[in-house]
Amino acid sequence: MVNGFIQASYFVVAVVFILGLKAMSSPVTARKGIVWAGYAMVAATVVTFFTPGMGNVGLMVLAIVSGGAVAWWSGKTVKMTDMPQMVAIYNGMGGGAAAAIAALEFARGEVHGPVAATLAVLGALIGSVAFSGSCIAFAKLQGIMQKAWRLPAQNQVNIALAAVAVLLGLGIIMSDTPASFLVVLFFIVALALGVILTSPIGGADMPVVISLLNAFTGLAVGFEGYVLGNPALIVAGIVVGASGTLLTQLMAKAMNRPITNVIFTPLTGAASGGGEAVEGTMKEFSSLDAASVMRYASKVIIVPGYGMAVAGAQHKVWEMAQLLEEGGVEVVFAIHPVAGRMPGHMNVLLAEAGVPYDKIFDLEEINADFAQADVALVIGANDVVNPVARTDKSSPIYGMPILNADMAQNVIVVKRGKGAGYSGIENALFYKDNCRMLYGSAQQAIGEVIQHVKALEA
């Protein structure tokens, strides 16, 4: 009777997980979907306590209270600009938990049968890679690891470590009671593989990596759910793994780079190189000039990037947009799929500032409008508006779909300095005749523009 109740509850929880994920597909219903999924997770946790013969209840309660307190505090205090690294580390915790479950089951000798053993090993391997890889992603996004590093024979080391992990995993699967040293060595190699795979990957590829690691975590949780005989974990893990895989494919497509290239040929400033030399000079604009051009424009398209996020300027940008709209200017926002440091990063920041959803357009929806725009205002974005992606076959980003900001009548670029983007490639847009550079942090530069727009209105 009790088992039937628990299984029925897990089924309901799984259905709510799926409905919550579906609701997250639209900005209008995303918050509702997150709340549904959160309540479902609470229900699944509570129901688990009714499992007959459950032990270590005190330790479970202690873990839930302590983990919940840390999550509550971090969720309340984290800045929106730090959300990518928070997503990365939370994702890593999921993978680590799946790997820890497998380790515990092997230590207790509770994994029986070749199918269960195989899935336990796969979950442990994928979860370990997701955990250590996510820790590296967190360190990069947090600024703890300032530079990507790459071994002299990086890909060969990756293949060798993966082969060793597979061989060790096969040894565990074929042994009824695997030796402790074999299990420990397997986890050491798997964790090392995650570190070495992720360390060379630079900021330009980070949104794809976060999405890929998220898919890894989902698959690991699903596999370990089978080992534990828990349908809620199976469904939740496979749903997350499948959605994460689809998102990874979409992100890679948005960069026109196969996922294998992201992993084995990462785009970093040190390794990108190539490309034709950019001719011309950058032409500077004052904040008054920028305010005047936008105030008397008919249509302004704003392209936000990570520079806006770092400066925390999304509220200032929306304030400026509202002032322009009050003056009769049409203002919309254009978002590239890989703008920022995680999928949907710019959308989250704009939503936090109160920008209506109907003013935010993705690449396919907005690209044709740039040619009719009087001004394209690029704020802290770089590679996603670099026209060499269309013209220079020798460039590492050639073929990557970009926002057609260069086709606007006037382009204003807000940038802190003259450095290149995450990929280390010089941006030809900055040297075009219709482009002007407004130097300074986005917060300060847009603040000055706002003051000048107000003065022009007076």
Active-site positions?
383
How far are the Cα atoms of 189, 336, 355, 452 from residue 94, in angstroms, in the given order?
A: 19, 28, 32, 49
The CATH number of domain 287-457 is 3.40.50.1220: yes
- Mean pLDDT for 285-314 is 91
* Structure confidence at residue 190 as a pLDDT band (50, 70, 90): very high
Count helices and strands in the chain by DSSP H and E runs:
18, 6
Average pLDDT of every residue of the chain: 85
Element (H, E) at 302: strand 299-304
Q: pLDDT, tens digit, for every residue of 46-99?
A: 988 888 877 788 888 999 999 889 988 988 888 777 778 888 888 899 999 999
* Structure confidence at residue 271 as a pLDDT band (50, 70, 90): very low
Please classify residue 158 by burial: count the beta carbons closer than 10 Å to its beta carbon, then call 0-12 exposed, 13-18 middle and 19+ buried: middle
Residue 255: what pLDDT? 72
Q: In what order do the strands lie in the sheet with 435-439?
A: 360-362, 330-335, 299-304, 375-379, 410-415, 435-439
Q: How far is CA 99 from the centre of its chain?
A: 22
* Structure confidence at residue 456 as a pLDDT band (50, 70, 90): confident
Q: pTM of the predicted model, to two decimals? A: 0.78
CB 351 within 8 A of CB 385: no
- Mean pLDDT for 276-287 is 78
In the chain, what is the straight-line distance between the N-terminal and C-terminal CA atoms, in Å?
75
- Mean pLDDT for 281-291 is 90
Residue 269: what pLDDT? 45
Residue 209: what pLDDT? 84
Helix, strand, coil shares of the chain, percent, nearest 5, are 65, 5, 25
How far are the Cα atoms of 57, 269, 299, 395 from residue 389, in angstroms, in the given order?
A: 57, 16, 25, 7
Q: Which residues pair with 173 in a beta bridge?
A: none
Residue 270: what pLDDT? 42
Q: pLDDT, tens digit, for every residue of 385-434?
A: 999 888 887 777 778 888 999 999 999 999 886 655 555 577 889 999 89
Q: Where are the domains of the chain?
A: 80-270, 287-457
- Mean pLDDT for 36-44 is 90
| CA separation for the pair 224, 105 (Å, rounded) | 10
Residue 18: what pLDDT? 86
CB 267 within 8 A of CB 205: yes
Highest mean pLDDT among 123-132, 219-228, 345-354: 123-132
Q: pLDDT, tens digit, for every residue of 303-354?
A: 998 888 888 899 999 999 999 999 999 999 999 988 877 777 888 889 888 8
C-beta atoms surrounding 434 within 10 Å = 16
Burial 267-290 (b: 16+ CB within 10 A, else e): bbbebbeebeebeeebeebebeeb
* Structure confidence at residue 378 as a pLDDT band (50, 70, 90): very high
* Structure confidence at residue 292 as a pLDDT band (50, 70, 90): very high
What does the chain come to in residues? Answer: 458
The pairing of strands 435-439 and 410-415 is parallel
- In degrees and rounded to multiples of 5, residue 442 shows phi and psi of -60, -40
pLDDT at residue 238 greater than cutoff 70: yes
* Biggest CA pair distance of the chain: 82
User: Which of 411, 423, 198 minimizes the C-alpha distance to 306?
Assistant: 423
Q: pLDDT, tens digit, for every residue of 13-36?
A: 888 988 988 888 777 788 899 899
Residue 272: what pLDDT? 46
Amino acid letter, 118: T
Element (H, E) at 244: helix 231-255
Q: Which two tokens stand for residue 384?
A: 């996603």
